[in-house]
């Protein structure tokens, strides 16, 4: 219940089309709309190309996910407590 309430609070800040990265299905493409949280992780992610406006594809979904960002394949794990990545699915 608490988790859902907090999640709703986060979601309300974004457009209705935006979803957390964790909800992206394998094989789905999306555009990053917001990266926020621990500044160290946010800046490390942006150095690797994960920032607002970038297109990415979820290659493997899960607690540790595998993303294709540009020509790179990035694996992210246990990020969700430190960093929130909001994306907008694109066709």
Partner 1 sequence: MHEITAPLKSFRIALLGNPNTGKTTLFNVLTGLNHRVGNYPGVTVEIKKGSFVHQSNAIEILDIPGTYSLAPRSPDELLSVELVLGLNPLEKVPDALLVIADASNLERNLYLATQAFETGLPVILALSMVDLATASGVKIDFKALSEKLGIPVIAIHASKRKGLDELKNAIVSLQTEKRMPPVPVFSQDVISNRAKILGLLGDKGSLFLAGRLLFETDGFLAQQLERKLSLSLTPAILESREALKSLGINLVSIEAKSRYAWIREMVQPCVSKPESKVTGFTDRVDRILTHKVFGMFFFFLIMFSMFTGLFVLAKPLMEWIGEAKNLVGQGLESVLPDGMLRSLLVDGLLEGVGGVVVFLPQIVILFGFLSVLEDCGYMARAAFLMDRVMAKCGLSGKSFIPLLSSVACAVPGVLATRVIEDKRDRLATILVAPLMSCSARLPVYVLFIGAFLTEGYGWWFPGLVLFLMYGIGFVTAPLAAMLFKSTILKGKGAPFLMELPVYKTPSFSVVFARIYEASFSFLKRAGTLIAATMVLIWAVLYFPYVSSTGENYPERIAATENKEQQDALLLEWKKNSYLGRAGRSIEPMVKPLGWDWRIGVATLASFPAREVVVGTLSIVFGLGKDAQDEQQLLEILQKARWNDDPDQPLLFNVPSALSLMVFFALCCQCGSTLMVIRQETGTWFWPAFTFIYMTGLAYIAALLTFQVGMLFL
In Å, the largest CA–CA distance within the chain is: 39
Q: Measured in Å, how far apart are the chain's first and last C-alpha atoms? A: 32
Contact call for residue 47 and partner 1 (CB under 8 A)? yes
Q: Which stretch binds partner 1 (CB under 8 A): 4-12, 13-21, 59-67?
A: 59-67
Distance from C-alpha of 84 to C-alpha of 91, rounded to nearest angstrom: 22
Contact call for residue 10 and partner 1 (CB under 8 A)? no
Q: Which stretch binds partner 1 (CB under 8 A): 1-9, 13-21, 73-81?
A: 73-81
Which residue, 16 or 88, is less far from partner 1 as judged by CB?
Answer: 88
- Find out whether 59 and 26 touch, Cβ atoms under 8 Å: yes
Smallest gap from Cβ 46 to partner 1, in A, equals 3
Which residue, 6 or 43, is less far from partner 1 as judged by CB?
Answer: 43
Contact call for residue 6 and partner 1 (CB under 8 A)? no
Distance from C-alpha of 58 to C-alpha of 80, rounded to nearest angstrom: 16
* Paired tokens of 25: 């299905």
């Amino acid at each position: 219940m608490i988790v859902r309430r907090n999640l709703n609070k986060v979601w309300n800040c974004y457009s209705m089309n935006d979803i957390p990265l964790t909800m992206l299905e394998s094989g789905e493409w999306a555009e990053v709309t917001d990266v926020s949280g621990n500044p160290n992780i946010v800046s490390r992610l942006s150095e690797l190309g994960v920032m607002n406006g970038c297109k990415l594809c979820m290659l493997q979904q899960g607690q540790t996910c595998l993303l294709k960002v540009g020509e790179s394949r990035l694996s992210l794990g246990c990020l969700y407590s430190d960093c929130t990545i909001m994306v907008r699915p694109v066709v």
